[in-house]
Structure 1
């Protein structure tokens, strides 16, 4: 009997693994390419914090002026947030991804030439627009798949992995006395692979295969369900509490995440007096913590409850930032950066996971696309504010500023709805769609009614 038990356990694991593979095999290409997009985003954000002081020196500007790059990037993100739903309706989710990836690649090519600063600012706007479309698209695509919560956590973990290697790449270039814009040569090559991979994978996927079929909202028959015009869909999506509060919550969250990741290198070199080459890998500890949090703590979050665990993570984040701010030892700061990264790690994917459970399927792409793109605008808005304030008070101001953003997150999280039971979700869906007066059918390529 003792010999059979391990064999039975091994057999059960093998059967479960085979079943998991059979379920996810049709989505394998989409998983790989969306995770690659996440890595590219991470490398972009992780490297930018390290090259920022070099950009400032190259153009001979202070923190307030160089922070305009963040502001223009924000404008790109926010503009994409408000038109993402319309673009998806016109071009489909695949078309929106192609457009975003094309803008992304073009922006890197333009940034590579190190044009005059005003032109750089304009290029950052196009970069933000393209990345926002991709960001919204990959989150929606992954959330449509089976095991969406696990896959979303891994998606954002791959972002953390990219952000982990970004500072290492930038620091290695500086160690070889190469210019800051060489980073954009590398990023441009990665973005070209990204565009080609998206086209290869998604060109064979019909719009119907990208509709919301795997969230916990009850399925409906598209031939009998009235579907609103794009304007009505957007209006209905924005009326949901999880859409507008989730967008504001993620705006603050991404602001904290990228403010720390983008400015802590300057904090460690200017305030702590750290070596400019050695501090790059130390910043990577923060992104390593972010990756760890999304891989490991994502499971813990689901097991013990999303709402209560996010409260805990926010408290830990405040404590870790306080230590980095007040303890003047670089080694302690590095350890706490890992802790802060780990605490922040599960927050974004957990928010998307909750939205996938509470948003009606007809409104899912519009709702999650908006809150993802709008929220990601925090990656530029709050680092810009940090740099502007730092001109007067010094870069140390990033620490209390980050704490204030976490407090704002805490307040918004109180009002984020908890995942509902299927019956409650159905009632919420009917209420969200009840105000429709104009009903149309959106014809897919196969002639069936679909939401694209």
Structure 2
């Protein structure tokens, strides 16, 4: 049974990654058809990201009422319908409308499945789970590019990926009875002999605000700046290589792809490493490797060291995100983990949404040469939040609700 659910969750994470990079790939073909400005894609991206942040913040309440299985089913159904809407959208207005359920669906399923795996499976599964997200994020552009190369048919690309999502919706629908038996254990402290205790715990959880739990704010800082690093590297890395290191555009694109390759392959490898090394060491080690890579970009070295820097940052980032997610129940208790997971995902999306544009604004009023310095600052901020949290947990273990709430 556990293996079946793991396969189902892996498939869900592939589907979660499929739409993530579609807009950027399809927009050059979509823009002239709608007569839109280049920066309109940014508006759509912000709508999607806004929906994701909102659904992540509310995921604890929603999952508590519906359960992990139903939330996963409804969320994937929403994303499938949104992608189908994109394929038929007659105007920009309808693209914006369809972007709303696309974002709302992504946030809830992300938080739900991350918490389920963190609660029920060992650390290596979390790393491989996010590796499968990378598989989806890689397949999406490949599928879209195939359709765009054939008579610029971006609508057919969205339709095909919507079809893949609907196929998963059907699988999730027929698996709902099994989710009801097994998949919602993370939302219930399941032991009939402890009904009175559970009532007390659930009431305490209901009355506890996540930001009041000691250590949560430090964890949120780490998530904010982790995604700030990851997204800023991906968005502005090529511009830095072209404008500062004087590399050709196609070479810069390949170097940035190696950065993403470092994240994906790194997470695959991390899954095996977790069998011998705990999450805390993996998080700290990944942050130090990422910092070393950022320093390679910052120092006035030959361009080849920039390639080394990009790969090192990718490899360093690989274990951090899944390991921090997997540590959530251990850090704050299973009774709080679902709600806190939603907050962590919301802050992660906030970092990915707002920190890269913030740097873009700074660079446009100064210089893109600040890129390595900003990456170093973001990594140090992430390291600060993580290490301060470790220091707090060493001093005061969060053994119960009372000791963790200020």
Show the counterpart of 2:62.
Answer: 87
In the other structure, the counterpart of 1:160 is: 134
Q: Is the 8 A contact 1:39 1:163 kept in 2?
A: yes
**What is the Cα deviation at residue 283 of structure 1?**
4.4
Q: In structure 2, which of residues 338, 344, 350 is the aligned counterpart of residue 365 of structure 1?
A: 338
Q: 2:17 aligns with which of 42, 46, 59?
A: 42
Paired residues of 2:282 and 2:319 also in contact (CA < 8 A) = no
Residue 108 of structure 2 is aligned to residue 136 of structure 1? no
1:3 aligned partner: none
Select the structure of larger CA radius of gyration. Answer: 1
> Alpha carbons of 1:203 and 1:115: their partners in 2 closer, same or farther (altered >3 Å)?
farther
CA distance in 1, matches of 2:336, 2:347: 16
More displaced stretch, 263-272 vs 37-46 = 263-272
Contact 2:123/2:279, CA 8 A, preserved across alignment = no
Go from structure 1 to structure 2 and tell me whether the alpha carbon gap of 1:306 and 1:144 turns closer, same or farther (over 3 Å shift).
Answer: closer
Q: Separation in 1 of the partners of 2:11 and 2:327?
A: 24
34-43 vs 296-305, which moves further: 296-305
Is 1:125 matched with 2:97? no
Measure, in 1, the Cα distance between the counterparts of 2:48 and 2:123. Answer: 29
Contact 1:46/1:262 (<8 A) preserved: no
Match of 2:123 in 1: 149
| Greater Cα offset, 397-406 or 123-132 | 397-406
Cα distance in 2 between the residues matched to 1:55 and 1:390: 28
| Pairwise CA distance, 1:31 | 0.8
State the Cα distance separating 1:333 from its structure 2 match.
5.4
CA 1:48/1:346 → structure 2, altered by over 3 Å: closer, same or farther? farther
Once the two structures are TM-superposed, the CA of residue 393 in structure 1 deviates from its matched residue by 5.6
Change (3 A) 1:112 1:380: farther
Secondary structure of the equivalent of 1:241?
Answer: coil
1:66 aligns with 2:38: no
Pairwise mapping of residues 330-349 of structure 1 onto structure 2 (< 5 A)?
A: 336-349=309-322
Q: Deviation per CA, 1:168-187, whole angstroms, max 9, x where unpaired? A: 44444555562545442333
Return the match for 1:378 from 332, 336, 351: 351
Judge conservation of contact 1:153–1:298 (CA < 8 Å) in 2. Answer: yes
Partner of 1:224: 196
What TM-score does the superposition give when structure 2 sets the normalisation length?
0.81
1:131-162 CA distance string (max 9 Å, x none): 0001011112212324x212111111111223
Cα separation, 1, equivalents of 2:126 and 2:348: 16
The 1:315/1:200 distance shift into structure 2, 3 A limit, reads same
Q: Could you say which residue in structure 2 is the equivalent of 1:285? A: 258
Q: How far 1:347 moved relative to its partner?
A: 0.7
1-side partners of 2:365 and 2:151: how far apart?
Answer: 31
SS at match of 1:417: helix
Which of 196, 202, 222 aligns to 2:176? It is 202
Root-mean-square deviation (Å)? 3.9
Kindly indicate whether residue 7 of structure 2 is the aligned counterpart of residue 32 of structure 1: yes
Contact 2:67/2:187 (<8 A) preserved: no
Deviations 1:276-298 (A, max 9, x none): xx876664433321122212235
Question: How high is the TM-score relative to the length of structure 1?
Answer: 0.73
Q: Which one has a larger percent helix, Structure 1 or Structure 2?
A: 2
Verify the 8 A CA contact 1:272 1:328 in the aligned structure 2.
Answer: no
| C-alpha contact (below 8 Å) 1:78/1:377 kept by paired residues | yes
Q: How far did 1:230 drift?
A: 7.1
Residue number among 222, 227, 232 corresponding to 1:259 in the alignment: 232
Unaligned runs of 5+ in 2: none
Unaligned 5+ segments in structure 1 are: 1-25, 436-452
